[in-house]
Amino acid sequence: MIDLKSLITNLKSKIINTKYAPVAFRLSIFVLLAAILVLIFPRYNNAFRYHFEIGKPWGYSTLTADFDFPIYKSDDQLATEQQQRLSSFTPYFKYIPRVQKEVKVVSLQTMEWLQSEGFTTVDIQQRKFPVSDLYTPMTAHKQFGYDCAMNLVLDTLLTEKRKAQLLSEIVPTQGIVQKGEKIIDKGEVVTERNYLILQSLRRAYDDESLGNKQRTLSIVGEAMLVLLFLCLFVVYLYVFRIAYLRSTSTVLFFCLQMFIVIALACLALRFNLTVYLIPFAWVPILTRVFFDSRTALFLHFTTILITSIIVPAPVEFFFIQIVVGMVAVSSLSDMTRRAQLVQTAAWIFLAQTIAYTAITFAQTGAFTSVNPWMYLYFLICALLTVGCYGLIYMFEKLFRFISSITLVELTDINSELLHTLAERAPGTFQHSMQVSNLAAEAAKAIGANALLVRTGALYHDIGKMTDPLYYVENQNGAENPLLKMDPRDAAQVIIAHVSEGEKIARRNHLPEVVINFITTHHGTSLVRYFYNTYCNAHPNEHVDQSLFRYPGSKPTTKEGAILMMADAIEARSRSLEDFSEEAIAKAVNQMIDAQIADGQFAETPLSFKDVEDIRGVFTSRLTAMNHHRISYPTLNK
């Protein structure tokens, strides 16, 4: 007999242990996001999903009635009719038993109520009297010179009953729309009459007997649309940014951004606020700060497509928000200063203002259709956009990302850590500065992140601060203590600067991406000087290369590979005697070819063209840095 429970358990175990498990987990994040969004969508008028405004064109196909329904009067019409009916209404009073009736006396509170409601007559036991015939105890005393007891009291039950009867005679409808009757054509401007009919149709759909089936289908449709839009974004990542899709933290970052702004939009709609107060520009700005412009735009488009499902006037909303996303990405190509965010917010405000005005004029052709409050909403939204600066810091800590702002702060050579490096190991500091310049130029040439590799280069050798005199650039011509040591021990001293650098970086809370440069800038290469020295001294001995090889790991990014090349070539250039372009080009080619042959770049996405471009940059830069200067003549005495 088959044990079904055991079979299911084994199947789950196999699925979890397959190489597809991480992919399935990341895709499930998108599915979970879709489910949450559909659950939090506002549930008003589920069956009737049309959005319309008076004076705006009908943006859907021609609408006809699927069933008979009455046309309900507007609230203003009902209020006017109620006021007309109640204008002749009189409240009912009765005498208090065993109290004199010569003077009609009511309480002060009752008199104030009659005056505030505007009543001119009252009904006292089926006889009409003007309100001017009524007195309060005080006014009766003034009029007649003696105290008069209150002898009239409002008959509340009868008054409310007669008032309700009077109001019940008002008919709440004004005609009927029959099944199959055309309601409005596509592109037709919504008039007050159309608006009443459409509101009546919406009210009819709210009837439980009509709406249950439609409500279910509406939710299903919403879920299908949300999944469709998210699937398109996943396809984009798979085709153009597969590295992002392979990172769980990146996927979570994308989904969290979408959830935050869409949830804020849902909250605004539930409280009858406009969605234009929500800073949708957060999505492209945050994504551009940590990633690239194309992904920022695509994620923004996905977000506003999903939001368009629930907002009023979705076409107008989508049009304006597309403009917002394009402006945000274009004006924030590389955020390195806080002032850039303020400038971007100003451009977004201007773009929203122009876009809203233009689409309103295009749709209605009338100045009166422009809602001046919209410009205030756009201003508030722009101010909220500046608040994105705080989110940048939050997401950096939460997902261990790094922004251009942080990189700029880290490149400040007056920072405590770099200042300490300059004091303890001045030669190493100068070497790091030269490497950062070389690496940044090479990164620009191949489209890599120049600011990132510049930052990594400044910190890649901070481990040398521990024992700076062991490194030739800090010895200032003094005897090298490593030459007195066994080559194996000397190699371990040199290798240790990587692990020491990682320790120093973590103590100083450097970002993980910068620490990665420290641990990978030598990869798994050999400490060639001491390895060759030992091999020459022991020609017949099998040499254990692990004693002379850096522990790695190898670089996995273009920036990491560039730093490895720049570090080795800058050091090699210091040993050259001939600084001609040919000699420098030969040294550059030899060093890079040796690293390639050693497999140091096997895990990076560098192409052959990238490597050739990097060779050219290094050759030209080193030639310029070591150019020949003319000697100045001395004065003849």
Which of these, 131, 133, 135, 113, lies nearest to 122 by C-alpha position? Answer: 131
| 12 has a pLDDT exceeding 70 | no
User: How far, CA to CA in Å, does 35 sit from each of 29, 236, 247?
Assistant: 10, 21, 22
How far out from the chain centre does Cα 532 lie?
Answer: 54
- pLDDT tens-digit map of 313-343: 788 899 999 999 999 998 876 666 667 888 8
pLDDT class of 213 with cuts at 50, 70, 90: low
Distance in angstroms (rounded) separating the CA atoms of residues 287 and 293: 8
Neighbours of 147 (CB within 10 A): 10
Gyration radius (Cα) of the chain, Å:
40
DSSP reduced 3-state for 530: helix
Within a 10 A sphere around the Cβ of 171, how many other Cβ atoms? 10
Q: What whole-number distance in Å separates Cα of residue 101 and Cα of residue 129?
A: 14
* pLDDT at residue 4, rounded to an integer: 53
Instruction: Estimate the crossing angle of helix 248-270 against helix 388-399, to 10 degrees.
Output: 140
Count of C-beta atoms within a 10 Å radius of residue 333: 9
Distance CA(257)–CA(220), nearest Å, equals 24
Check residue 191 and give its pLDDT: 85
Per-residue confidence at 596, pLDDT binned at 50, 70, 90?
very high
pLDDT reported for residue 49: 64
Q: 3-class SS at 371?
A: coil
440, 452 Cβ separation under 8 angstroms: no
- Cβ atoms of 174 and 71 within 8 Å: the answer is yes
- Among 163-167, 266-270, 393-397, name the one with the lowest average pLDDT: 393-397
pLDDT band at 207; cut points 50, 70, 90: low
pLDDT of residue 7: 54
Q: In sequence order, which ranges of 331-411 are alpha helices (DSSP H)? A: 338-364, 373-386, 388-399, 404-410
Question: How far is CA 211 from each of CA 25, 173, 443, 474, rounded to the nearest angstrom?
Answer: 37, 21, 60, 81
- The kind and range of the H/E element at 623 are helix 608-625
Q: For residue range 378-397, what is the model confidence (pLDDT) as tens digits?
A: 999 999 998 888 888 888 88
**DSSP string covering 464-478, please?**
GGSSGGGSGGGSTT-
Q: What is the DSSP string of 211-279?
A: HHHHHHHHHHHHHHHHHHHHHHHHHHHHHH-HHHHT-HHHHHHHHHHHHHHHHHHHHHHHTT--GGGS-
Amino acid at 370: V
Using the predicted structure, report yes or no on whether residue 160 has a pLDDT greater than 80.
yes
Handedness of CA 524, 528, 534, 535 (dihedral sign): positive
Contact by Cβ (8 Å): 283, 261: yes
Give me the torsion for CA of 611, 614, 618, 619, rounded to 10°.
70
pLDDT at 273 over 70: yes
Q: List pLDDT tens digits, range 65-77.
A: 877 888 888 888 8
Domains of the chain: 4-43+212-399 (no CATH), 77-168 (no CATH), 404-625 (1.10.3210)
Q: What is the pLDDT of residue 255?
A: 95
If residue 63 lies in a helix (H) or strand (E), which one and from where to where? strand 63-64
- C-alpha closest to that of 566 among 578, 577, 553, 555: 555
Neighbouring C-beta atoms of residue 15, cutoff 10 Å: 11
Q: Is the peptide bond between 546 and the residue preceding it cis, with omega within 30 degrees of 0? A: no
**What does the buried/exposed string (b/e) look like for 502-536 if buried means 16 or more CB atoms within 10 Å of the residue's CB?**
bebbeeeebbebbbbbbbbbbbbbbbeebbebbee
* Predicted TM-score of the model (pTM): 0.68
> In 3D, which of 502, 592, 482 has the Cα closest to residue 552?
502
Enumerate residues 6+ apart whose C-beta is below 8 A from 486: none
pLDDT of residue 419: 92
Confidence band of 236 (pLDDT split at 50, 70, 90): very high
Residue 46 has what pLDDT? 45
Which of the residue ranges 224-228, 528-532, 549-553 has the most confident prediction, judged by mean pLDDT?
224-228
Per-residue pLDDT, 440: 93
Q: Pull the structure tokens for residue 538.
A: 């022991």
pLDDT value at residue 558:
93
Instruction: Name, in order, each residue with C-beta under 8 angstroms of 471's C-beta and a sequence gap of 6 or more.
Output: 425, 427, 428, 464, 494, 497
